[in-house]
């Protein structure tokens, strides 16, 4: 191999490593884990939601500065173009030409999060604007356009509105991507129970890319699934365990939601004392408890209101026998971004005498 050919090969490999959308081809009839779609982004995050959703696997979601709109499609674009003009790309190998459905395991967390004075799940007139804009193969199809009324928007036909059905309030459920509908298409009915038909995508055999662009924040996607019309739908169950996930070389510890944090105690194992540290992003009501391995409380180390910041507590296990114990942090924040937020996490420590 001459020097020019070798240099070309090295440059091609380098470009593949840094290009944000160069991903492995995914297959139909298989779960596509959403965290595997992550690219460098300012407002698409990955988490398993400890303390707010407590989901058993990681999911992705768009954020928009806590701009929770109780609205319909007409103002949905405000998040995308004022806060978050971001997307994920799903490269897929389509085996045969035909009609396909796209399934998703999703939740609308913001709808159930206790938005102050506007709880979407308890309303029939409005609900949270949760959703993504969707297009196959052409990202520019999701660019905003000038509508006849003179306003700039994304074409409604590209909108996948994940309606906050009652079953979505705070928990994940299986949905199909249905484009072009919002609550205004369900006159005379509770919009939370409006279920538009799935969109049929006609795709040719070969390589395709599905683009999903943020429409509004806190639409959580655990995984996607593409199947030919007529094939069995996927089972509605969580994706891979979040503990086994690493994205872009980051450990699962860095994937935890920013803000609240319960750290590993040190030393561990310990005898007889150890230090437990935790972080509060805002003033919160805090309870820190040591439990036996069965989860039964042994000692309450903290039970008070504490200011934001880093905190540490010294635990003395001189009156306990050797073994594994659990320390559990629970925090209730009344004003975290305008929401009541409850955080809970626990870790294990070993007393070795």
pLDDT digits (tens, 9 = 90+) for 13-35: 443 333 333 345 799 999 999 98
Structure tokens at 317: 């296990």
Structure-token pair, residue 131: 């959703």
* Order of all β-strands in the sheet with 159-161: 26-27, 87-94, 206-214, 131-136, 159-161
Residues 142 and 77 reside in one and the same domain: yes
Residues 299, 175, single domain; the answer is no
For residue 29, the cross-strand partners are none
In a domain, 189, yes or no: yes
Asked whether residue 102 is assigned to any structural domain, the reply reads yes
Whole-model pTM?
0.61
C-alpha–C-alpha distance, residues 306 and 276, integer Å: 15
**Per-residue model confidence as pLDDT tens for the chain (353 residues):** 555 545 444 444 443 333 333 345 799 999 999 988 876 667 788 887 765 667 788 888 877 655 544 444 444 444 555 567 788 899 999 999 999 999 999 887 654 333 333 344 455 454 555 778 899 999 989 887 766 666 666 677 888 877 544 444 556 888 899 898 766 676 665 555 667 889 999 999 999 999 998 877 677 899 999 999 999 999 989 888 776 665 544 443 443 344 678 899 999 999 999 999 998 877 788 889 999 998 889 999 999 888 877 889 999 999 999 999 999 988 876 555 444 456 778 899 999 98
| The pLDDT of residue 214 | 83
How far, in Å, CA of 285 to CA of 273, rounded? Answer: 25
The dihedral of CA 79, 80, 82, 83: what is its sign? positive
Any residues with CB less than 8 A from the CB of 60 and at least 6 apart, and which? 34, 35, 37, 38, 44, 45, 46, 88, 220, 221
| Strand 297-306, strand 284-291: pairing | antiparallel
Within-domain flag for 14:
no
Residues 292 and 177 in one domain: no
What was the pLDDT predicted at 28? 96
Q: Give the pLDDT confidence of 262-319 residue by residue, as tens digits.
A: 899 999 999 999 999 998 877 788 889 999 998 889 999 999 888 877 889 999 999 9
Check: CB of residue 34 under 8 Å from CB of residue 59: yes
> Of 300, 293, 266, 287, which Cα lies nearest the Cα of 345?
287
pLDDT at 165: 47
88 and 135 fall within a common domain: yes
Residues 185 and 197: their CA atoms lie apart, in Å, by 12
CB 165 within 8 A of CB 193: yes
- Can you read off the two tokens belonging to residue 93? 């190998």
Given CA atoms 93, 234, 172, 36 in this order, what sign does their dihedral have?
Answer: negative
CATH code of the domain in which 52 resides: 2.60.120.260
56 and 99 housed in the same domain: yes
Tokens of 198: 């799935």
Q: Which of 218, 222, 254, 215 is nearest to 52 (CA)?
A: 218
Output the pLDDT for position 222. 92
118 plus 266 within the same structural domain: no
Q: What is the pLDDT of residue 77?
A: 46
Q: For 148, list phi and psi in degrees, rounded to 5.
A: -60, -30
Widest pairwise Cα distance in the chain: 77
Q: Are residues 145 and 276 in the same domain?
A: no
| Residue-number span of the structural domain to which 219 is assigned | 21-232
* Number of folded domains that form the chain: 2
Q: Edge-to-edge strands of the sheet including 309-316?
A: 261-262, 273-280, 309-316
């Amino acid at each position: 191999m001459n020097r020019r050919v070798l240099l070309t090969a090295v440059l091609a490999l380098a470009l593949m490593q840094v290009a944000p959308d160069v991903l492995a081809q995914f297959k139909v009839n298989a779960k596509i884990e959403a965290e595997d779609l992550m690219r460098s982004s300012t407002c698409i995050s990955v988490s398993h939601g400890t303390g707010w959703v407590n989901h058993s696997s990681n999911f992705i979601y768009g954020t928009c500065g806590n701009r929770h709109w109780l609205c319909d499609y007409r103002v949905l674009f405000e998040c995308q173009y004022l806060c978050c003009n971001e997307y994920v790309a799903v490269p897929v190998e389509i085996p045969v030409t035909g009609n396909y459905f796209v399934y998703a395991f999703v939740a609308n967390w913001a709808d159930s999060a206790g938005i102050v004075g506007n709880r979407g799940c308890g309303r029939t007139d409005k609900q949270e604007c949760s959703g993504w804009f969707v297009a196959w193969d052409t990202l520019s199809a999701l660019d905003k356009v000038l509508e006849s009324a003179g306003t700039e928007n994304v074409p409604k036909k590209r909108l996948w509105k994940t309606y906050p059905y009652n079953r979505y309030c705070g928990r994940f459920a299986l949905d199909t991507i249905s484009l072009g509908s919002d609550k205004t298409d369900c006159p005379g009915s509770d919009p939370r129970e409006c279920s538009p038909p799935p969109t049929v995508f006609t795709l040719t055999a070969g390589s395709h890319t599905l683009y999903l662009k943020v429409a509004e924040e806190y639409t959580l996607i655990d995984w996607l699934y593409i199947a030919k019309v007529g094939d069995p739908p996927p089972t509605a169950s969580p994706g891979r365990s979040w503990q086994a996930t690493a994205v872009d070389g980051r450990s699962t510890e860095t994937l935890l939601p920013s803000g609240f944090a319960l750290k590993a105690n040190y030393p561990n194992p310990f005898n007889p004392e150890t230090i437990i540290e935790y972080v509060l992003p805002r003033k919160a009501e805090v309870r820190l408890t040591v439990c036996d391995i069965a989860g039964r409380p042994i000692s309450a180390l903290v039970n008070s209101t504490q200011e934001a910041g880093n905190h540490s507590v010294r635990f003395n296990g001189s009156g306990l026998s050797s073994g594994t114990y659990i320390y559990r942090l629970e925090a209730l924040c009344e004003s975290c971004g305008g929401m009541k937020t409850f955080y809970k996490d626990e870790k294990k420590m070993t007393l070795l005498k």
